[in-house]
A and B are shown apart, each in its own frame.
Chain A
Amino acid sequence: MEPFLNFSVISDNFTYFMIGRFPHGPLGGVGLTLYLAVVSCILSFFGGMILGLFSISRFPIIRYPALAFINVVRGMPLLMVIFWMYFLLPALFGKVAENNTVIMALTLFTSAYMSRIVVAGIEGIPKGQTEAAISTGLASWQVMLYIVLPQGLRNMIPSFVNQFVSLIKDTSLAFIVGVSELTHVATQINNRTMAFPTEIFIFIAVIYFFLCYAFTSLSRWLEQRLSWSKAI
């Protein structure tokens, strides 16, 4: 009798799950998922920071476009943003690698959400801090850079982590445009072998869980290591 679950399909295709056809072909599987997540994560950190600062700028000409962008993106499903980038970027710039269209989509989408975290973090710093700093003669950009953001960032960390965990999971949507990250690899193997969908999707669920869990643990460790975390 056949065993209820047969995980040999995993061990047979393990390298393919992890890195796709690399190094003889393009990177895929878990490797590509991590690549998409890490690059989008770094870009959307800065994107969110810039959008957030723009959206509370004194100058309407900066503030309103930023707010409009944030609200439009937040009102769209991520899948649609991915399609948009997939068709729009090549139309504008000629040939763009699929990986990059996905990174662009994830970055724009996540930046819009991150910007609200940045604003909340900035607004959470007591007014007295700003008043004390401008009273010593610091210009408002210096107050933001040296006083408000360093304190605000610390308060933003838990929300950032949330957003990045979402981002790791959102990379799975890239499979729709044929980017061979983990979910795409899993559907490929499933289509080829036909008989083991349960095993395959249990396996990638576990992998997503561990990726997210490792990231949460890492950020908790980082948070505790911030030298002045005990100071407040």
Chain B
Amino acid sequence: MITFTGVHKWFKNLHVLNNINLHVTSGEVLVVCGPSGSGKSTLIRTINQLEPINEGSLVVDGMDLSDKKTDINKLRAEVGFVFQQFNLYPHLSVISNITLAPMKIRNIPKKEAEEQAMLLLTRVGLAEKRDAYPSQLSGGQQQRVAIARALAMKPRIMLFDEPTSALDPEMIGEVLAVMKDLALSGMTMIVVTHEMGFAREVAHRVAFMADGILLEEATPEDFFLRPQHPRAQQFLRQLLTPMQAE
């Protein structure tokens, strides 16, 4: 469903993606982790071309991103993206946040779009917030609305860029629960996260990145119990016992 072949990307002199080869199949949940600055956010941002790649080939859902004839807007409509900072539209109510894209892109009538939005809001447990504005919601609620907004386009792939990193600890669970529910429904997902509990429980595969290089790919059991690369071992050690990190 998503295939990276020899992908490179530079920010000026910084080699943020170095020869990435990665394949994600339909229905798979991949967790990407690694120290900050390792290029994991850039990696998933290339998939809907928020960041263009400089070299190599990237094929998403049959569409070749390096082909100039590919309709990028069409591709983006098939790929849902959830941001660390939620990025809800502050001037629109919750329901309008969700119905905007389906109404403008798919030309779905307002009534039908709102019915679908209510189903999604119910799914993320926020049906009663339909007329609230984003600023009236907690961080966890905003992120759940953002997930509903991404789902409203009925995407075939969902990308999550550190979806819980900006949240207070007591709100992380509600967002992860929604994501877990989504994973169990068979959605193809790539999740950049430091939530190792989520990775262990939900992911089919874990990818570890450092300095723009994909160092390790393994099942969650193998990755957490028998990490191969020294950088991965060090990363996991720091994650599990941060106070003792040197």
Are B133 and A228 in contact, with the CB atoms below 8 A?
yes
**CB-nearest residue of chain B to A129:** B87
Q: Is B153 part of the binding interface, using a Cβ–Cβ cutoff of 8 Å?
A: yes
Are A135 and B89 in contact, with the CB atoms below 8 A?
no
Which of chain B's residues have a CB closer than 8 A to the CB of A142?
104
Report the interface size for chain B: residues with CB under 8 A from the other chain: 31
Q: Is B73 part of the binding interface, using a Cβ–Cβ cutoff of 8 Å?
A: yes
Are B73 and A137 in contact, with the CB atoms below 8 A?
yes
Q: Is A136 part of the binding interface, using a Cβ–Cβ cutoff of 8 Å?
A: yes
Are B74 and A137 in contact, with the CB atoms below 8 A?
yes
- Min CB gap A116→B, angstroms: 23
Q: Is A76 part of the binding interface, using a Cβ–Cβ cutoff of 8 Å?
A: no
Q: Is A220 part of the binding interface, using a Cβ–Cβ cutoff of 8 Å?
A: no
Cα–Cα distance between A150 and B150 once the two chains are bound (Å) = 21
Q: Is A80 part of the binding interface, using a Cβ–Cβ cutoff of 8 Å?
A: no
Which of chain A's residues have a CB closer than 8 A to the CB of B88?
132
Q: Is A2 part of the binding interface, using a Cβ–Cβ cutoff of 8 Å?
A: no
Are B83 and A137 in contact, with the CB atoms below 8 A?
no
Chain A positions 141-195 with a Cβ under 8 Å from a chain B Cβ: 142, 146-147, 150-151, 154
Are A154 and B91 in contact, with the CB atoms below 8 A?
yes
Cα–Cα distance between A128 and B152 once the two chains are bound (Å) = 19
**CB-nearest residue of chain A to B79:** A135
B50, B83, B90, B152 — most chain A CB neighbours (10 Å): B90
Chain B positions 96-155 with a Cβ under 8 Å from a chain A Cβ: 100-101, 104-105, 133-136, 146, 149-150, 152-153
Are B90 and A134 in contact, with the CB atoms below 8 A?
no
Are A132 and B83 in contact, with the CB atoms below 8 A?
yes
Are B104 and A128 in contact, with the CB atoms below 8 A?
no
Cα–Cα distance between A132 and B74 once the two chains are bound (Å) = 15
Which of chain A's residues have a CB closer than 8 A to the CB of B4?
none
Which of chain A's residues have a CB closer than 8 A to the CB of B136?
231
Q: Is A139 part of the binding interface, using a Cβ–Cβ cutoff of 8 Å?
A: yes
Q: Is A12 part of the binding interface, using a Cβ–Cβ cutoff of 8 Å?
A: no
- Min CB gap A139→B, angstroms: 5
Interface string of B144-168 (1 = CB under 8 A from A): 0010011011000000000000000
Report the interface size for chain A: residues with CB under 8 A from the other chain: 21
Are A135 and B73 in contact, with the CB atoms below 8 A?
no
- Min CB gap A110→B, angstroms: 26
- Min CB gap B41→A, angstroms: 12
Cα–Cα distance between A232 and B101 once the two chains are bound (Å) = 22
Q: Is B76 part of the binding interface, using a Cβ–Cβ cutoff of 8 Å?
A: yes
Which of chain A's residues have a CB closer than 8 A to the CB of B76?
134-137
B104 contact from A129, A146, A154, Cβ within 8 A: A146
Are A231 and B83 in contact, with the CB atoms below 8 A?
no
Are A137 and B77 in contact, with the CB atoms below 8 A?
yes
15 pairs of residues in contact across A and B, judged by CB atoms under 8 Å: A128-B83, A131-B83, A132-B81, A135-B76, A135-B81, A136-B100, A136-B101, A136-B150, A137-B74, A138-B73, A138-B100, A146-B100, A151-B90, A154-B91, A232-B135
Given contacts A128-B87, A134-B76, could you give 4 more A-B pairs where the C-beta distance is less than 8 Å? A132-B81, A136-B77, A137-B74, A231-B134
